Structure 1
Amino acid sequence: MSAAPEHAAVFEPHLPLSLLLTAAITGALAFLQVYSIQSVLPVLMRDLGIDAVTAGTTVGATVLAVALMSPFMGMLSDALGRRGLIIASVFFLALPTAAMFWTHDIGQLWWLRFLQGLAVPGITVVLIAYIGEEFSGANRVRLMSFYVSGTVLGGFLGRFLMGYLDEWIGWRAGFLVMAALSVGGGVLVWRHLPPSRRFVARPQMSNAAKTLWRHLHNRHVLSACALGFCVLFSLLGCFTYINLHLAASPYYLNSAQLADIFAVYLIGMVITPLAGRLIMRFGANRTVLLAVALSVFGVLLSLSTPLWLIVLALAMMSTGVFITQSATINYIAQHVEEGRSLASGLYYMAYYAGGFAGTWLCGIAYAHAGWPNTVSTLIAAQVLAMVIAGVLMVKKRQLKFSGSL
C-alpha cells in the first residue's frame, strides 16, 4: 500500500510536455531511416542499373528485418528491461546507415538496409511496451498518440531530407548525414527518457513460451496483427511506387521534388494526436472503419491526372493510415496486461510483414500495368482491413488477459 502515493506522484493526470516530446522524438528516430530511401528510388535505378521491383526491395529489406526481429526483441525486453534497449537501438541504427556511403551494388545496399531493420524493433516494440506498462487511461492514449505523431515526423523527415541531400551532395554522402542525426537523437533520448518504474523482469523462456501461446489464442491480439498487416501493406505499396509514377511521364519529378511530396506526412502529424479523442469517443474498431474509408477514397483519387489532386489524395490516404495505426496500438495496450513487449512484437511482425508484402506485390502490379494496377492491389488490402475492423475488432469485454481466453 505504501507504493500507491509514489505511483500517484509519478503518473499525474496532466503529463509534462517534456515527456510527450520525448515520446515523439523517440518515435521519429525509429522511422528516420526506415523509409528515407523511397525518395531516391529513381536515382538508385539509374546509378545501380536496377529495375523497379528490385529498387522496391531496398524498402522491403528493412521492413522484412523488422518483421523478423520484432517478437524476439519483445521477449528480450521482457527479460532485460526497456530503457537501455531503446537507447542502444537508436545508436546501433547509425552504423549501417553510415556504411551506405561505401555502397556500390544492390547486394551491399540490401544487406545494410536489412541491418537497419534489425535495430528498429528495439525502439518501436519496446517503447510501446514501456508506455503501456508505465501509464494508463488518458495518459497512455496521449503518449501513444504523440509517439505515433513522432513516427509520422520521422517518416517524413527521412524521405524529405534524403531527397534534398541527394540533390545537394549525392545519396551516398546523404546517408552519412542521416547517420549523424541518429547519433545526436540517441544522446537526446539517453538524457530525457525517464527510467522504468513498473517493469518486472520475466527472464524465464518457459514463461515467454506460455505468454506467446496465450497471445496466439487472444482474438484481440490476432485481429490487431491482421489489421497491422493491411495498414503497412497499403502505406508502403502506395508511397514506394507513387514515386516511380511521378518520376515518369508526364510529371518527371526529381529527388527534391519527390521529397516535397512527402510533406503530406505533416498533415498526419497534426491529425494523429486528435485520434486519441476519436478512440476515446467511438472505440478502436469504429475509428479504424472511418480511417480506412478515408484511405480508400484517397487511393482512388490518386488516379487523377493533376498533380495537386494526387498530393491531396496522398494526404488523405496517409492520414487514414496514421489514425488506424494509433487506434490499433491503443487497442493492443487496452487488451493486453501481461507480456506487453511480446504482444507489441507480434503486432509489429505482422505489421512489417505486410509492408514487405506490399512492396513486393505492388511492385509486381506496377511492373505489369503501372499505377492503376497498383491502386487495385491497394484497394484489396484496404477492403480486407475494413472487414477485420468491422467483424473481428469489438469493444473491450470484461475479459482479462490472465484469465481464460
Structure 2
Amino acid sequence: MAWALIPSGVLIYVALYSVVPMLPGLERLFGTAPGSTHLGISLPFLVLVLLSPLVPRIRLPVGTVIGGGLLGVGLFGILAGLAPSLEIWTLCRTLQGAFAAAVPGLSLALLPRLYPSKHAQMAGFWVAGNVLGGGLGRGLGGLFAEWFGERWAIVLLAFPVAAIALFVLREKEHLTLPAPRYTLSAWPLYALGFALLFINFFVANLLPYRLEALGLTQGQIGGIFFAYLAGIPGSALAGMLVKKWGEVGAFRLAFGVVVLGLLIQIPNQPFFILVGFVAMMAGIFTAQAVTGGVSGRGGSGVSGTYIAAFYLGGTVAGLVYPPFIGQSPLWGLEVALGVCLLGVFLASRALR
C-alpha cells in the first residue's frame, strides 16, 4: 500500500483539477452563461467536506476504501467528459468528489504508521505529489482542451486514476487504523486548512477569466497553471524547514511568501501575474505540508476533519468567486490577503 500513496495523490488531483482552465470553454460548449460551471467546481468539494470525517468509520481494510475511492474518481471523471449537458456534467463531478473523500484523510493518517520516524518528511512528499497532480491537471487540461476539445481532455485525464485503482484493489496487504477520534479543540488547525484551499481556489478560479480578458488562449492559460509545480520544492522540503524553524516558524515563512505572491499579481500584466502566482503556490503548498503533517499525527478522525475543513475552503471559494468575474483584480486579491493574515494570526494556536 505504501507504494501507492504518493502516485494516487498525484493522479486523483490530475482528474479533479483538470477542468479549471476549461471553465470558459465548457460554458461555451454547453451554451451557458459565464460562471455557470461554478457548481461543478464547488459541489465536488462540498460532498468531499461532508464525507471526509465519516470515511474513517468505514470498517473495511484501508486499501479497499482508498482503492474504491480512486476507482470512483476515475469512472465518474470519464462520464463527466461524455456528459451531454451542464447538469449531468455537474452531477458526475459531484460524484467524483464523493469518491475522492476516501483518499486524502486516510492517506495522511497512514503516513505516521508506515513511516514512524519520518512522517513529517513523507507528509511533505505526499503534498508535493498533490501539487504535481494539481499542476499537471490544470496545465494539461488547458493544453488537451485546445488540442482535443474539452470532452476528450477530461476523459484522457481521468483514465489514469481509474487504472491505478485496479492495482490498489488487488493489494493483499490488509492495513487497518485505530478507531477515529474526533475533537473540536483542534479548530485552529482546521481553520488553517480552510484558509489554504480558499486562497488557492479563489485566486485560481478567477485567473482564467482575467487572463482571457488579457488575450491569452486556452493553451496559454493552461501553461500559466503549470505554476502549481512551484509548490513541489517547498512541500517536499517542508520536513527540513520544520526541523530548522519549528512548525509555527515554517508555516509563517510560507505564508509570508503567499502574501508576497499576491502583491506581485496586482499589475494587470501576464508576466507579473505569472511570477506572483508562482510565488503564491510555492508558499501555499509548503504551508499545506506543515499542517497536513500535524493533522496526521492526530489520527484519522483529526486528519479527516482537517481534510473536510480544507475542502470546505475550496467549496466556499467556488461559491463566492463568480461576482468577482470582470471586476478589478484588486477586489479579489484583497480578499485573499485578508484570509492570509487570519492564517498567520492563528498559526501559533493551531500548530503548537
User: TM-score surpassing 0.5?
Assistant: yes
Cα deviation per residue 1:194-253 (whole Å; 9 max; x = unaligned)? Answer: 8356x3564xxxxx6xx33xx12x3xx2111010011100000011111110011xx222
Task: Give the conservation status (yes or no) of the 8 Å contact 1:223–1:388.
Answer: yes
Cα deviation per residue 1:332-353 (whole Å; 9 max; x = unaligned)? Answer: 234x2xxx22211111111111
How far apart in 1 are the matches of 2:37 and 2:336? Answer: 19
Given the alignment, which residue of 32, 46, 67 partners 1:87?
Answer: 67
Cα deviation per residue 1:107-129 (whole Å; 9 max; x = unaligned)? Answer: 21211111110111211111111
- What does residue range 84-163 of structure 1 map to in structure 2 within 5 Å? 84-137=64-117, 139-163=118-142
- What does residue range 3-402 of structure 1 map to in structure 2 within 5 Å? 22-76=4-58, 79-137=59-117, 139-190=118-169, 195=173, 199-200=176-177, 202=179, 211-212=181-182, 215-216=183-184, 218=185, 221-248=186-213, 251-334=214-297, 336=298, 340-366=299-325, 369-390=327-348, 392-395=349-352
The one-letter code matched in structure 2 to 1:68 is L
In structure 2, the residue corresponding to 1:303 is in which secondary structure? coil
How far apart in 1 are the matches of 2:26 and 2:39? Answer: 12
How far apart in 2 are the matches of 1:51 and 1:286? Answer: 44
The one-letter code matched in structure 2 to 1:30 is I
In structure 1, the residue corresponding to 2:192 is in which secondary structure? helix
CA separation of 1:290 and 1:200: change in aligned 2, threshold 3 A:
closer
- CA root-mean-square deviation: 2.1
Between the aligned residues of both structures, percent identity stands at: 23
CA separation of 1:49 and 1:294: change in aligned 2, threshold 3 A:
same
The one-letter code matched in structure 2 to 1:132 is P
Task: Give the conservation status (yes or no) of the 8 Å contact 1:261–1:311.
Answer: yes
Task: Give the conservation status (yes or no) of the 8 Å contact 1:362–1:377.
Answer: no
The one-letter code matched in structure 2 to 1:347 is Y
Task: Give the conservation status (yes or no) of the 8 Å contact 1:291–1:324.
Answer: yes
CA separation of 1:370 and 1:126: change in aligned 2, threshold 3 A:
same
Cα deviation per residue 1:299-323 (whole Å; 9 max; x = unaligned)? Answer: 1211123322211100110111101
Task: Give the conservation status (yes or no) of the 8 Å contact 1:294–1:316.
Answer: yes
How far apart in 1 are the matches of 2:56 and 2:206? Answer: 31
Cα deviation per residue 1:342-390 (whole Å; 9 max; x = unaligned)? Answer: 21111111111111111222322335x2422111111111111111114
How far apart in 1 are the matches of 2:215 and 2:164? Answer: 34
Could you tell which deviates more after superposition, 236-245 or 28-37?
28-37
CA separation of 1:201 and 1:351: change in aligned 2, threshold 3 A:
closer
Task: Give the conservation status (yes or no) of the 8 Å contact 1:23–1:146.
Answer: no
CA separation of 1:232 and 1:266: change in aligned 2, threshold 3 A:
same
State the number of aligned residues: 352
How far apart in 1 are the matches of 2:167 and 2:275? Answer: 34
How far apart in 1 are the matches of 2:74 and 2:351? Answer: 40
Cα deviation per residue 1:17-41 (whole Å; 9 max; x = unaligned)? Answer: x95x643212112212221110101
> TM-score, normalized by length of structure 2?
0.93
Structure 2, gaps ≥5 residues long: none
How far apart in 1 are the matches of 2:61 and 2:168? Answer: 16
Task: Give the conservation status (yes or no) of the 8 Å contact 1:74–1:344.
Answer: no
Q: In the TM superposition, what is the alpha-carbon distance from 1:277 to its structure 2 partner?
A: 0.5
Match of 1:4 in 2: none
Task: Give the conservation status (yes or no) of the 8 Å contact 1:82–1:126.
Answer: yes
